[in-house]
A and B are shown apart, each in its own frame.
Chain A
Amino acid sequence: MIRKRLRKIEGFFWMGLGTAICFLAWKVHLGTFLEPGPGFVAFASGLFLCIVGLIMALSQILSRISLESGFDLNLTFQNISWRRLAYTMALLIGYAVFLNALGYFLTTFLVMCGLLYDREKNNWLLSFVTSLVIVGGSYLVFEVWLRSQLPRGVFPWW
């Protein structure tokens, strides 16, 4: 029962998304079959999502169609280290936020320190040294060899 209820929610999600896409497509001009406009294919893809969502939502009636799609919610999200995932994502978002302001060297060094830090061993020195090596190595590869234009930030002379 839980699986079917979830399937229903999934169906409503896709129908909602499909409707939103159809609306956006209609706003940018659909055109006609004779002369399709910029929203024509987007409208078709939105309509397509609505149909897929409808079939999912009707899973209790059309049980044979979407029975196989179910998954176990408890099993899927069992024993997940949400803190570790949130910590990693926060570091990555931080990288994007501070890259231009602090520059490549400092931002990469700080984020690498955070990512390499091993909480079990509590060894900051190791993550510090490894981060320095990574920052130096990646600078050589991307800036010197591949000539990517990495942001200089607070250290404009680099």
Chain B
Amino acid sequence: MTDSIWPVAQFDPVRRLRVIAATTPGASIHEIVVGAPLESVWDVAADLEGELPLWLFPDIRSIKVTTPTADSERLVARARGHSGLRARFDVVLRPGWCLMQSRFLLGGMAATEEDGATRFALLGGFCGPLRLLAPAIRPISARLGDRALIRFAERVGQRPR
């Protein structure tokens, strides 16, 4: 009986994002099952410059992404909002997984296959002192998250397969 024949527990990126959400004060996670293959869903999610401003939050005007190191999974994203908001995010982006962190904001996306469709999860939260605001604006952020997921599913549906 060797180590390799012992069963290994399943685990997927959406569960992983739930762990981040459950252990980050002020963070919230929203999930949706999209009737499309994982690759199609992640094509939309991973397009931070082209797609993210179209579905995430209406205030986002543009996102510019650079790869400052040789590590292709480590990116920097600079977001600009119609309201004047500017934020620089350190990003980890890989198939099925994205985590973005700025000085005050935390964002995440994850996707996994589920019964022929794709479960997609979106995480939002605050870092640093702003996390103290999270309980007060939780109802608003919940609505924003749900609406963002609806727009996301629409964007996936509009992509040619």
A binds B: no
Query: Residues of B at under 8 Å CB distance from A?
Result: none
Report A's interface with B, CB cutoff 8 A.
none
